[in-house]
Chain A
Amino acid sequence: MAEEAPAVRLDHVTKAFGNRRVLDDVSFDVPAGSGFVILGRSGTGKSVTLRHIISLMRPDRGRVFVDGDEISALNGPELSRVRRKIGFLFQNAALFDSITVGENVAFPMRRHTKMKDAEIRKRVLERLHAVGLEREYDRMPADLSGGMRKRAGLARALALDPEILLVDEPSAGLDPITADEIDDLLLDRKKRGGVTLIVVTHNIPSGRRLGDTLAMLHDGRIIARGSAAEFDRNSDPLVRAFMTSQHAG
């Protein structure tokens, strides 16, 4: 029987900006329905990795696969088709600031489905309810707090029921309670929706909850990979420093 393709595969990906190599021969597989958490210090290439997975950046060398399709080689409608399988929660939510919160969530539905306005509104309200923002439907993104924006961004990322969810720093800039709420939502999508989660975070407790597998990036290379328990036993000084840091939460 043919082996099922991983949800995401990076195959010897290298990326440099000028003389600075941000990703250096990075390879990993993320099985469908699992949680993969990328840890690492600031500027080590974590967000760049996420951007490669959705082809906002292309590798200088190597290949990126999503659900068996080589997304790093696709363009036009084929690229759009693969991207529709992916939801992306940006670090700063990146809501469209000229339209309301509701229209932000409705945007992917209007673009990629033939749903009628009433049905779209119903589904948007469901998505906003799931993140506790159903009363903010008509508000503009600029009127929301950072935490609310992030939750609205999550509602938009989930608008089309993606198979894969990329999440960039879900807890950055949030209070611990809101950060936990976001983690709960992500876990719920993973457990009940079978969504593959790929999360970039500095937050070790959050990483432990969300990740079946953790990977640590340093200087553009993956220096450790494994379960949270394996990370706890890892003797690499950098991994130990990261996992035991008092600021890791």
Chain B
Amino acid sequence: MLDRVGNSAVELLASIGEASLFALKAAREIFVPPFEVRETIRQMYELGLRSAPLIAVSGVAVGVVLSMHTRASLERFGAEAMIPAGLAIVLVRETGPLTAGLLLSGRIGAGIGAELGAMRVTEQIDALEASAVDSFRYLVVTRVIACVIALPILTTIMNFTGMFGGFLAESASNGMPLGLYFRRAFSLIELTDYVPATLKTMVFGFIIATTSSYLGFNTASGTEGVGRASTKAVVFSSILIILANVILVRIIFFIFPQAAGG
């Protein structure tokens, strides 16, 4: 029994070590030419642009729900006029980036895990290598770059569509016009609210791409393994994003103390 626990612990540590080295290699090779420009653009389309509808629709829904909650709270203090600004700050600082990160860990993480896993078990990754192509650069680095670039853009889309959702709820509730809603929404937002919170999603993108690529790249046991890689990619990416978010928020508050203020 003790032996089994010990072996499992050693295997787990070895996997964490391997995954960390994999991520470090990806981080280093992002900056090393030659760059796979064509494949990176294709991945930005597949992983980024094609995720936009999911993010936009989710953003509207999140905005509507947040607006309803905010109204219920602020109405008690007669501060309904603050709803657009309050909603915008909540969205831009935290809800937008984290929700986008978690949604994309589902869509992109599962996709990368399954695609690379299937390529591994059908020997397509070996075929790339046999064609004298560096499979790591071609498959992993391109996806990492695409995710790191796409996440902040998608997060911005989520922020705006979230605010639009808030407007729809407000408009239905009290007929507030669009112009007035967005003027109020942006009245308290500062650059230090938007930039650090949005840029932190580059780390989320890196986490999603490296975690799911690592699991896909190391898939074994046929189609069952592909399914497992896909599921694990979502689970581990989500957990790591939530944990990284705690650290990143702490770092943002340290560097931009005003971001911690009200």
> Considering the chains assembled together, what is the distance between the CA atoms of A165 and B133 in angstroms?
17
For chain A, the bracket of interface size reads 20 to 34
Q: Answer whether residue A86 sits at the interface, using C-beta atoms and an 8 A cutoff.
A: yes
Minimum CB–CB distance for A127 against chain B, Å: 14
Does the CB pair B127–A88 fall under 8 Å? yes
> Considering the chains assembled together, what is the distance between the CA atoms of A76 and B34 in angstroms?
12
Name the one of B122, B127, B132 contacting A84, with C-beta atoms under 8 angstroms.
B132
User: Which among B122, B124, B132 has the greatest number of chain A C-beta atoms within 10 A?
Assistant: B132
Does the CB pair A94–B132 fall under 8 Å? no
Q: Which of A53-81 contact B (CB under 8 A)?
A: 54, 56, 76, 79-81
Question: How many Cβ-Cβ contacts under 8 Å join chain A to chain B?
Answer: 47
Q: Answer whether residue B75 sits at the interface, using C-beta atoms and an 8 A cutoff.
A: no
Does the CB pair B134–A90 fall under 8 Å? no
Name the one of A83, A90, A96, A97 contacting B132, with C-beta atoms under 8 angstroms.
A83
Minimum CB–CB distance for A238 against chain B, Å: 29
Name the one of A94, A108, A156 contacting B126, with C-beta atoms under 8 angstroms.
A94
A76: chain B residues within 8 A (beta carbon): 134
Q: Answer whether residue B130 sits at the interface, using C-beta atoms and an 8 A cutoff.
A: yes
Q: Which of B121-137 contact A (CB under 8 A)?
A: 122-124, 126-134
Does the CB pair B131–A97 fall under 8 Å? no
Does the CB pair B123–A94 fall under 8 Å? yes
Name the one of A81, A86, A94 contacting B124, with C-beta atoms under 8 angstroms.
A94
Does the CB pair B134–A56 fall under 8 Å? no
Q: Answer whether residue A41 sits at the interface, using C-beta atoms and an 8 A cutoff.
A: no
Q: A83-B131, A90-B127 are in contact. List 19 more A-B contacts (CB 8 A).
A: A54-B130, A56-B126, A80-B134, A81-B132, A83-B132, A84-B132, A88-B130, A90-B123, A90-B130, A92-B122, A92-B123, A94-B123, A94-B124, A96-B127, A108-B132, A111-B131, A111-B132, A111-B133, A112-B132
